[in-house]
Chains A and B, each alone.
Chain A
Amino acid sequence: MQDIPTTTLVAAAGFVAGIVFGATAQRTNFCTMGAVSDAVLMGDFRRLRAWVLAIALALLGSQALHSAGIVDLYQSIYLTANLGWLGAIVGGLLFGFGMTLAGGCGYRSLARVGAGNLKSLVVLLVLGIAASMTLGGLLALLRIWVIEPTNVVLGGTSNPRSQGIVDLLAALFGTQPGSLRWVVVGLVAAGLLWFSLKDKGFRNSAPNLAAGMIIGVLIPLGWLITGVLGADEFEPVPLFSFSFIAPLGHSLQYLMTFTGATISFGIGSVGGVIVGAFLSALVARQLRLESFADAADFKRHLIGGALMGFGGVVALGCTIGQGVTGMSTLALGSVIAWLAIMAGSIYGIRYLETGSLRGALGALFGRA
């Protein structure tokens, strides 16, 4: 135990949890893009309810860990005093649009690659490169010059401590966040649970129920892995849970600079999702090589991957990173990003339907 570096331990645990994450996507067909398109195109809300169930459980679990003092969610990248509202909106819209073009979000694409989908492999490569370019490459300049100057910096003596909805409400009513926390968490969780579980079709759908529950449990587990297992006194790892955009960029960099690189929870979990989906597809005899239908198909996936990489970094997360992990911290930025991703995704669906960007706008605002 003593000789294994903390980063390696945390990455290994992330890898194992990632296997469960990946197998879940492969077995249950959980897909955030699919959730939106099922709802928009077919009025079938079951996959969306699975997503919402995951958020509700992740919220309860994460807030319980926080209240018990086991992890400090204020150390996460979501619950900061620096509210990147424009990044959440612009990045979320681009991400949502991109994931529709690419046939799934980063998480879904990882699971698809594990099952043999070469289209998703292209999506992931482009996504990872675009994410790295936005983190520290050419596109980072765009992020730093255009997006970040609009960030609203909270904090200070009289202001809310962070962009957490609990802190914002506490500042508004002049009370302490501690007494308010469980009122807010209870109300939000109850609302989300009611939305997901009120539907009989969802309650009778074992795969959707399972997906929501497993992902809802894995997010707090991620906090535990980085926050408790990674709490080395001298080299603590940053508090983190599942997210698949920046970690994908880091994974590509890790493979390219292996001899001088350090592994992390994010890199471990990315690898785990691919392996988990592969094993699951192997057992289910669903391993199948799939490729592009034509050049237009290829182009859609390329652009979708690039938009997801850029948008995901600018919005600080994807449908999992902001859409479940971020939501579990009740950060305002996460809620904005989540709604923007949904909006971008709906627009993307209309775009694919009508075949033009303007036609999609018409479809969005003219008739539903």
Chain B
Amino acid sequence: MVNQDSFKMDLTRREVLAGGAALLTVAGAALTALPARAEFDNARAAMKAVLGDVEPRIGHVALELAKIVEDGGSVPVTISVDSPMTAEDHVSRIHLFPDKNPTPFAATFRLGPRCGKAEVSTRIRLAESQTVFAVAELNDGSAWMTGSDVVVTVGGCGIAVSDADSEVRVKTRIKLPKSATSGKVIQIKTMVTHPMESGHRRNSAGEPVPRRIINRFTCLYDGEEVFGADFHPSIAANPMLFFHIVASHSGALTLKWIDDDGSEYSEIAEIEVA
């Protein structure tokens, strides 16, 4: 190994100045690229459209979201609400609002007492650094919210962005415990391979790629909806949904995804309750 202590190294003043000047140029360019900030106008407007005159209050909702993400194309998010989820007191809907996305409304999740636990996970797209809001509506008509700041940086290691794939190969997946004890809350994991083409993207020829997303999901337990979701273009490709239901009795679980083009993809799973 080289014994470095025996060597001298000196940066000349000119070298230091040149390096500093280069850094300043980059910093200046970065500063001019910073956008002006508005105070959550987009999310406020989207909330108003959904909630009407109900003013959401801060509390009861928790949003699990990374503080810094390198890939804004697929950001895991988990929303949970502090609620007993009984017939008398439960969450009826949860909404997700990414303030600075082209569509500042990502999804609505429909819940009820048969969910047993008010916790939903999915993956969203984040166009830039912003605040993401989650709002929960309870059955008593009140609304509760929280917000979380997330910094979105450019992608790390140079993976090429592929051009729009015209062929959509849809495949559904579902995972749930093989058996459950009666009355226990179980987690259902679902995913569907789908590009979730937002309609905001252009292909390599510069033409806009038309919107095509899964816009609705529903989970039926013996024919009755126990959980559902409405998706908007801010949901990431291959939409993933984790949610909970109460395994009340043995029966069939039917999951349906509805595509913008009218197609319906479904999957049936049996729940065995001991």
Residues of A within 8 A of B (CB): 31, 33-34, 37-38, 41, 77, 80-82, 84, 87, 100-101, 103, 135-142, 144, 148, 151, 153, 155, 233-235, 246, 253, 257, 259-262, 293-294, 296-297, 299-300, 303, 313, 316, 349, 351-353, 355
Name B43-82 residues within 8 Å CB distance of A: 64-68, 70, 76
Asked if B194 is an interface residue, CB under 8 A from chain A, the answer is: no
B52 to chain A, nearest CB (A): 32
- Contact between A262 and B66, CB atoms less than 8 A apart: yes
Q: Can you name the residue of chain B whose Cβ is closest to the Cβ of A142?
A: B26
Residues of B within 8 A of A138 (CB): 23, 26-27, 30
Residues of A within 8 A of B160 (CB): 80-82, 151, 153, 155
A-B contact count (CB 8 A): 109
Asked if B8 is an interface residue, CB under 8 A from chain A, the answer is: yes
Q: Can you name the residue of chain B whose Cβ is closest to the Cβ of A87?
A: B158
Kindly name the residue among A103, A260, A355 whose own CB sees the greatest number of chain B CB atoms within 10 A. A260
Closest 4 CB pairs of A and B: A136-B153, A82-B160, A260-B67, A352-B7
B262 to chain A, nearest CB (A): 26
B170 to chain A, nearest CB (A): 16
Number of interface residues of B (CB under 8 A): 35
Asked if B220 is an interface residue, CB under 8 A from chain A, the answer is: no
Residues of B within 8 A of A (CB): 1-2, 4-5, 7-11, 23, 26-27, 29-30, 64-68, 70, 76, 148, 153-154, 156-160, 173, 175, 189, 191, 240, 242
- Contact between A77 and B191, CB atoms less than 8 A apart: no
A300 to B76: give the CA distance in the assembly, Å: 41
A349 to B9: give the CA distance in the assembly, Å: 12
A164 to B240: give the CA distance in the assembly, Å: 32
- Contact between A261 and B30, CB atoms less than 8 A apart: no
Residues of B within 8 A of A303 (CB): 11
Residues of B within 8 A of A151 (CB): 158, 160
A84 to B9: give the CA distance in the assembly, Å: 32
A257 to B153: give the CA distance in the assembly, Å: 15
Residues of B within 8 A of A103 (CB): 1-2, 4
Residues of B within 8 A of A355 (CB): 7-10
Q: A234-B189, A297-B4 are in contact. Are A352 and B9 (CB under 8 A)?
A: yes
Q: A87-B158, A253-B68, A299-B9 are in contact. Are A140 and B2 (CB under 8 A)?
A: no
Residues of B within 8 A of A87 (CB): 158
A294 to B174: give the CA distance in the assembly, Å: 62
A296 to B5: give the CA distance in the assembly, Å: 8
A313 to B154: give the CA distance in the assembly, Å: 13
Q: A352-B2, A355-B7 are in contact. Are A257 and B68 (CB under 8 A)?
A: yes
